[in-house]
A and B are shown apart, each in its own frame.
Chain A
């Protein structure tokens, strides 16, 4: 019966307007939520437990404000909620070092996380944590099956590949074509009473520091073309200028 850990991070609601004051993004009036892909990680962790038994622990590294998303995870049905106290800015190296130690302390055998956090957009944590633990990792996973061995589905070229792997492993979850469960009344009541297991782990120094944050340069005025052939040019601009493909 696996000891399952799911990483959750608190981030600004993705619908929120991002404002900058001075040279930093100002999040003081922004609603904070669980990073969207982490919801798929929680769901997949719960499915793993249903199929194989064991217990699910939701783990976050952050300040006391992040207790809210741990309670959200508790309401959905995780067994334990753990927060490693940290308020400073951490680079990937520092964060992953802390997470690796926490996962080891908790005796985790499989870790689920989001494919990327909505604030950093990085996608570094899952593979980086796995490397530090010496574990297998698969990223951008859109589905997992637990019967007859462990396998996950991930995009590969234009298709999907079903990969089999053995534990221990870190699985970074993308949006799958399944619904994530919502908390029920009982879960919400339990979450209210649940205590967060707060731990402290020494944070190593970061070799990367934030210099400034700013709003992206204003969007240039629109361009208009005559005739359908221009669609080829527009496709190129979408890739090269807009960077949206």
Chain B
């Protein structure tokens, strides 16, 4: 049996609910995982109660005010027991996982989507293949969310341990995210509008969603040809750009073969169209038969609450 330690996933200075999934992942190695909560104020560790932990350590330090890789790794290393460490797979947690692993001379496996004994599976080649590796001895594993059913019960009261970290960066300023539009050919997510958007002004609804999820805005040829305000650079399709994003959202686009030519290899396709017989639905993983006026506000609200 391997001793396992979960580094709690934090969001806005609180323990994020996905931490209970990390505990479940840790439990696959047997034993009772220890959850370590990086916090500025020990009260912040209260959220780790009832997440299935054998014990909870509130690692308290001013170093945890802002994320600093070196500061967090050194402050955590001082209090985290030896063993296999489990973290979340957000960009920050993966960064921390890599630093902690290096600090202890361990190897790291990122983005685990399955754990079977000492065999860990994660996506490689941008999700075009899956790879299973076998670990010997302790390792650091970052685990994707929504893979393990959350654990519950277990420890409630944290043990508070003060620690210090070697913080190496300082935040000069926070800036609102630049709203510069991404290029459709380079984005991981593309949301495109077609003639069904009715007018070029209505593309602001697509732009708002794009800003929320970090997407690029594209268009069908009919939209580009009909409206001067929609530039050809946005066109997806046979005579426009070919895109291969993880997610393509087609809004008010019929799904003509020339449009499909430019986007059908997208990993996931969502279609919003008021016509249930629109050909785009045959290629969609998720189809919504509705007007965009009806569907986009709901979609935007849901995405906003997810992105926090």
Contacts and interface: CB of A to CB of B under 8 A. Distances in A.
Interface of A: 12, 14-15, 17-18, 20, 25, 91-94, 96, 118-132, 135-140, 151, 153, 155-166, 169, 175, 177, 206-216, 219-220, 222-232, 234-240, 242-245
A25 B108 CA distance: 21
Contacts of B132: 210-214
Interface stretch (B53-61, B151-159, B194-202, B280-288): B280-288
B130 A213 contact: yes
Contact of B289 (A122, A140, A227): A227
Given A156-B174, A215-B129, A234-B270, A222 B69 contact: no
Q: Which of B133, B186, B272 has the most CB of A within 10 A?
A: B133
B266 to A, nearest CB: 10
Contacts of B281: 222, 224
Contacts of A175: 186
B307 interface: yes
Interface residues on B, range: 35 or more
Contacts of A119: 124-125
Q: Which of B105, B180, B186 has the most CB of A within 10 A?
A: B105
A20 B125 CA distance: 12
Interface string B96-111: 1111011101111111
A131 B103 contact: yes
Nearest to A205: B136
Interface of B: 66-67, 69-70, 73, 91, 94-99, 101-103, 105-111, 119, 122-137, 139, 144, 146, 168-178, 180, 186, 188-189, 213, 244, 246-247, 267-268, 270, 272, 276, 281-291, 293-299, 301-303, 306-308
Nearest to B242: A15
A155 B174 CA distance: 9
B125 A132 contact: no
A177 to B, nearest CB: 5
Contacts of A157: 308
B110 to A, nearest CB: 4
Contact of A124 (B108, B172, B189): B108
B302 A160 contact: no
A124 B70 contact: no
A139 B290 CA distance: 41
Given A121-B123, A208-B107, A231-B298, A223 B285 contact: yes
Given A92-B107, A128-B102, A238-B270, A231 B288 contact: yes
B173 to A, nearest CB: 5
Contact of A226 (B73, B106, B168, B289): B289
Nearest to A174: B91
A222 B303 CA distance: 21
A135 B123 CA distance: 29
Secondary structure of the A contact surface, majority rule = mixed
6 contacts: A132-B102, A213-B130, A227-B289, A240-B146, A244-B267, A245-B247
A11 B123 CA distance: 15
B147 to A, nearest CB: 9
A239 B267 CA distance: 13
A146 B105 CA distance: 33
A151 B169 CA distance: 9
B177 A160 contact: yes
A136 B130 CA distance: 32
B83 to A, nearest CB: 14
Contacts of A220: 285
B288 A137 contact: no
A245 B172 contact: no
B302 A232 contact: yes
B189 A131 contact: no
B28 to A, nearest CB: 16
Contacts of A163: 169-172
B294 A136 contact: no
B306 A129 contact: no
B302 A231 contact: yes
A207 B67 contact: no
A172 to B, nearest CB: 8
A183 B23 CA distance: 49
A235 B303 contact: yes
Contact of A131 (B99, B130, B136, B306): B99
Given A229-B298, A236-B302, A18 B125 contact: yes
A139 to B, nearest CB: 5
Nearest to B294: A228
Contact of A20 (B98, B129, B134, B287): B129
A243 B146 contact: yes
